[in-house]
């Protein structure tokens, strides 16, 4: 069941717990800590199973009518089980209700890492399309792919 989480400390605990289980995606301690700290003030949802969080998603406003999936994580043992789709669906409905016209997400461009290729395919399946690649926004080994979608 997907729930909205309001308590900043609970958001931090959930983020830290789940990202620590995903070192292939979140292996840079400074970046991971930034996600943990910043999530405290963002709209945030978690999926729980038997009272324990197994996934989360956070939204960051980037303009009056634009937002981005700031960070999302699902415990590896629940990948490909619909958790990500359910989390995205709740975030997307929030975007519609709050008048956002566009939603974006950033990930690593295709062909760099198998894990990120799966991530990119997930976002394509959710309706995102490739917008632009910034080859050195993060660093040369991690070209930043920006994907966008209309919020209808």
Q: Domains, the chain, ranges and CATH? A: 2-150 (3.40.630.30)
Q: How many Å apart are CA 113 and CA 24, to the nearest integer?
A: 9
- Give the lowest-confidence range in 31-40, 91-100, 136-145: 136-145
Instruction: Look at residue 125 and give its three-state secondary structure.
Output: helix
Tens of pLDDT, residues 4-25: 999 999 999 999 999 999 988 8
Are the C-beta atoms of residues 44 and 91 closer than 8 Å to each other?
no
| pLDDT above 80: residue 113 | no
SS3 category, 9: helix
Residue 116: what pLDDT? 79
The side-by-side arrangement of strands in the sheet containing 102-108 is: 2-4, 44-49, 52-63, 66-74, 102-108, 142-150, 129-139
Contacts of 21 (CB under 8 A, 6+ apart): 73, 75, 76
pLDDT band at 140 (very low <50, low <70, confident <90, very high): confident
For 89-101, give one letter per residue: b (16+ CB within 10 A) or e. Answer: ebbbebbeeeebe
Closest CA to 34 of 16, 22, 53: 16
Residues found in the chain = 152
């Amino acid at each position: 069941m997907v729930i909205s989480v309001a308590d900043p400390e609970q958001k931090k605990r959930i983020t830290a717990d789940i990202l620590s289980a995903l070192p292939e995606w979140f292996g840079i301690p400074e970046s991971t800590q930034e996600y943990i700290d910043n999530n405290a003030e963002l709209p945030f949802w978690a999926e729980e199973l038997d009272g324990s969080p197994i996934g989360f998603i956070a939204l960051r406003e980037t303009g009056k009518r634009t937002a981005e999936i700031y960070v999302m994580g699902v415990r590896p043992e629940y990948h490909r089980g619909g958790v990500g789709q359910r989390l995205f669906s709740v975030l997307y409905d929030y975007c519609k209700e709050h008048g956002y016209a566009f939603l974006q997400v950033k990930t690593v461009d295709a062909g760099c890492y198998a894990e990120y290729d799966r991530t990119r395919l997930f976002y394509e399946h959710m309706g995102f399309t490739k917008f632009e690649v910034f080859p050195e926004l993060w660093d040369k080994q991690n070209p930043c792919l920006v994907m966008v979608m209309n919020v209808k």
